[in-house]
Amino acid sequence: MITFSTNEDFISHPLIKKDFVSRREYQEIIFINCLNQNCLVVIPTGLGKTIIALMLSVYRLSELPKSKVIFLAPTKPLIEQHHKSFLDLTLLPPESLQSLTGTILPKKRKEIWTQIQVAFMTPQVLQNDLISGLYSLEDVSLIIFDECHRAVGDYAYVFIAKKYTSASKGHQILGLTASPGSTQEKINEIKENLFINHIEIRTDKDSDVKKYVQKVDTEWIKISLPDEFLEIKRILEEKLKEIYKWLKEKDLLNSFDINKITRKDLLKLNNTINGRISASRNDDEKYDMFYAKKCQANAIRISHMSELLETQGINALKDYLEKNEEKIKNNTANKSLKELFVDKNFRKVKQLTYEIQAQGVVHPKLEKLREILTTQLQANSESRILVFAHFRDSVNNIVRYLKEDSIIKPHKFIGQAHKGSDKGLTQKEQIRLLEDFKEGTYNTLVGTSVAEEGLDIAECDLVVFYDVVPSAIRSIQRRGRTGRKKEGNVFVLMAEGTRDEGYYWAEKAKEKNMRDSLKKIKSSQNGPKKEQANLLNFIEKAKNNSVSEQKLAGAELIEIACDNRETASSVVRNLSLMGVNLRLEQLSVGDYIISKRVGIERKSSQDFTDSIKDGRLFKELKNLTDNYERAILILEEDPFENSSLDENAIYGAISSIILNLGVSIYKTKDAKETAMFLYQLAKKEQSESKSSLKLRFGKAPIETSRLLEYVIAGIPGVNTLRAKNLLKEFQTLQNIFLADIPDLTKIENIGKKIAQEIYKISRYKYKNDH
């Protein structure tokens, strides 16, 4: 066993490359202070948090040579970045350092897991592997949670930390972030969720860090909106104030000041209105509340239009208006939208928008942005620039505008999600784009929030905020993309008299709160340890540690098949923490299967009422009863509370489900109770039936043709539609199974991978070894 306790020992360590140089005192101190305890490291960007993680990883692998280390980060580009650092700086065998991403099939990930020492993963992949029981964390000596400010709420980091601490006796956790949150409560939540017992805090003012911090100048540039924009803005704000005034009269808002009402307030208002509708026994009040729903919907639309005008300009507003006019024309618009668009004042907004757009007036932020970028590139042609914008539409508009300039070579840097015809970037494309940026193929990346976290682009010497974000975390992350290895500049464009100014002050206040909170935590940690403040608080905390988060004796003998889309809910995570043997499947019917005869659909109260409105509910439950002898609906939370549906409609739906469909309904208060009910139900059912789960879910059909579809649809990747296409062409099972891969790929929706799977399975020799 090789140990070390100083940076000198580390640099001469046999697992570290000789050209590795790290003589920074703070790294050495943080590393030593984090030995053998769960540690949260808060450190400014660009100061080598990956180096600290690498040092601790090598130490743990030296102490426990047969153990593994997991390095988690939110995105694949970040994962690849950390992977490369370990390849460049350590002498660990390259094959023992592997990125395990969702593009690798689970079976292959399981195989790779047995051969590696350090795994670089996104939390979603690790979470799904743990839920599926693909491998255990028992031999993992360290998990690193990069960008650990995300370890709140239902984010996968929280679940992983719980699974890890319960599975590994010698566990150690390292959390890394530059911006843990603006309040002590938020920071304490991260500490609790990651089981942190020590914090290392460094700021750019600390003496041991200060000399390594590159100078970053931040300049706020105020932009005046043109008079044409201000006239549209005035009309929109007057309409908004009129709505707010009415809502305040009905005690739904505390103010009609448009500067005090946020989008969050408007969204929350929906629950308040629904609650008043449910509770009301007065027809006049109900009428008012239904009118309030229309007002709330239009307030959100007008607020959004105002923001589009302020941040993106007239083209974006025109696109939004045309999109909604198309809905009205196609009769797909709701009543509130139709009423808004026939309003006399709103027709004036439309008229002005089209006139100004025809005149070619652009947002002055675009002109200022181009001026900043051309000045920078003329002064230094090797500059690399990052521009951040809140909306993806803004990103597209900015890139289109900048392409007209010969010196600027822009490209968008966005997430994976497709939004209509606007395709996202795959993680492979993101990685390739960062390489092109470093090499100079592009000198300007225009990105959304996906570009904010952790990306180490040493060449970036200018960052521009196209809009202001009211978040301390996001603002710090954005600024951290420059000044990493050399001096950098940050420009923030702020439209005068708009929400940009409110966001500016909100961000400033939150960042100050964060600094103050970190200062308090740092001083309290250096001071004497506090005693347990209150025995009752301790008892209450222990009581709140729900039984559904504790591993239950014998739970591993219980098997539940879950639809893989259910991993977005915390029900599956709670079942996994209880120790239940879970199988993630793409279920065509139901959300959970506990035996051959029992299928279960789960609905949150919101999803329940939504599925009544759009007709999904009865179709899904009919499929459930057609395929399972005992069909059960779990109704999570109270569907009557804050519902926009009349209570008679809800009672009617529940009555039909029980009386007409014969489905049993069980109500739970939350996801934890749902998990416990599923466990108890499966335990009872499986102890009495003594039979394992079916490999296939659903009753075998009686008609021979449907039976053939059923057989073919059992092949991985082949659904009922593909099965029908195959049988329509080949006619018989024999012809399908004798077909070659090129013949199979000629069938609609059958790609090479599925064809190879059919070919392989049809020639596989059965082994009765399980």
pLDDT tens across 475-485, in order? Answer: 666 555 554 55
**pLDDT value of residue 642:** 66
Between 468 and 534, where is the model more confident? Answer: 468
CB atoms within 10 A of CB 229: 23
Whether the per-residue pLDDT at 101 is higher than 50: the answer is: yes
Smallest Cα–Cα separation from 206: which of 33, 24, 5? 24
d(CA 444, CA 446): 6
**pLDDT value of residue 217:** 77
pLDDT tens across 658-697, in order? Answer: 999 999 999 999 999 999 999 999 999 988 765 555 545 4
Whether the per-residue pLDDT at 349 is higher than 90: the answer is: yes
pLDDT tens across 146-197, in order? Answer: 999 999 988 999 999 999 999 888 899 999 998 888 788 888 899 999 999 9
Task: Answer yes or no: are the C-beta atoms of 244 and 266 closer than 8 Å.
Answer: no
Once rounded to an integer, what is the mean pLDDT over residues 496-520? 79
**Angle (nearest 5°) at CA 456 between 450 and 457:** 95
**pLDDT value of residue 547:** 46
d(CA 461, CA 484): 9
**Burial bucket for residue 251 (CB in 10 Å: 0-12, 13-18, 19+):** exposed
Least confident range of 220-234, 504-518, 592-606, 625-639: 504-518
**Helix (H) or strand (E) segment spanning residue 666:** strand 664-668
List the end-to-end C-alpha distance of the chain, in Å, as a whole number.
39
Which segments of 92-205 are extended strands (E)? Answer: 97-100, 118-121, 140-146, 173-177, 198-201
List, in sequence order, every residue forming a beta bridge with 486; answer none if it has no partner.
none
Once rounded to an integer, what is the mean pLDDT over residues 119-134? 94
Once rounded to an integer, what is the mean pLDDT over residues 97-120? 93
Question: Could you tell me the pLDDT band of residue 319, with boundaries at 50, 70 and 90?
Answer: confident
Once rounded to an integer, what is the mean pLDDT over residues 55-72? 93
Q: How far is CA 436 from the centre of its chain?
A: 26
Alpha helices in 409-498 (DSSP H): 427-439, 472-479
Whether the per-residue pLDDT at 338 is higher than 70: the answer is: yes
Q: How far is CA 170 from the centre of its chain?
A: 30
Whether the per-residue pLDDT at 138 is higher than 90: the answer is: yes
Once rounded to an integer, what is the mean pLDDT over residues 356-381? 90
pLDDT tens across 244-293, in order? Answer: 999 999 899 888 888 788 888 888 888 888 888 877 778 888 888 889 98
CB within 8 A of 390, min separation 6: which ones?
Answer: 311, 448, 449, 466, 467, 469
**Burial bucket for residue 581 (CB in 10 Å: 0-12, 13-18, 19+):** middle
Smallest Cα–Cα separation from 337: which of 308, 296, 365? 296
Whether the per-residue pLDDT at 562 is higher than 70: the answer is: yes
Question: Could you tell me the pLDDT band of residue 550, with boundaries at 50, 70 and 90?
Answer: low
Task: Answer yes or no: are the C-beta atoms of 109 and 36 closer than 8 Å.
Answer: no
Question: Could you tell me the pLDDT band of residue 397, with boundaries at 50, 70 and 90?
Answer: confident
**pLDDT value of residue 95:** 94
d(CA 608, CA 628): 21
Q: What share of the chain is helix, strand, coil (3-state, %, to 5)?
A: 55, 15, 35
**pLDDT value of residue 697:** 46
**pLDDT value of residue 410:** 92
d(CA 243, CA 339): 13
Question: Could you tell me the pLDDT band of residue 31, with boundaries at 50, 70 and 90?
Answer: confident
Radius of gyration of the chain (CA): 29
Q: Is 495 helix (H, G, I), strand (E, B) or coil?
A: strand
> What are the tokens at 617?
């509910």
Once rounded to an integer, what is the mean pLDDT over residues 112-120? 95
Whether the per-residue pLDDT at 374 is higher than 70: the answer is: yes
Whether the per-residue pLDDT at 140 is higher than 90: the answer is: yes
d(CA 667, CA 636): 6
pLDDT tens across 426-471, in order? Answer: 778 888 888 888 888 999 989 877 655 555 565 678 889 888 776 6
Between 337 and 717, where is the model more confident? Answer: 337
pTM: 0.72
> What are the tokens at 661?
């469909």
Backbone φ and ψ for 100, nearest 5 degrees, come out as -110, 100
Between 302 and 502, where is the model more confident? Answer: 302
Once rounded to an integer, what is the mean pLDDT over residues 575-586? 90
pLDDT tens across 591-606, in order? Answer: 999 988 899 999 999 8
d(CA 653, CA 618): 9
Whether the per-residue pLDDT at 716 is higher than 70: the answer is: yes
Q: Is 335 helix (H, G, I), strand (E, B) or coil?
A: helix
Q: Furthest-apart CA pair in the chain: how many Å?
A: 81
Q: What percent of the chain has pLDDT over 70?
A: 86
Task: Answer yes or no: are the C-beta atoms of 386 and 462 closer than 8 Å.
Answer: yes
Going by DSSP bridges, is the β-strand pair 598-604/592-593 parallel, antiparallel, or unpaired?
antiparallel
**Burial bucket for residue 214 (CB in 10 Å: 0-12, 13-18, 19+):** middle
As a whole number, the mean pLDDT across the chain is 83
What are the C-alpha distances in Å from 159 to residues 87, 153, 169, 647, 662? 29, 10, 17, 36, 36
Smallest Cα–Cα separation from 100: which of 130, 76, 81? 76
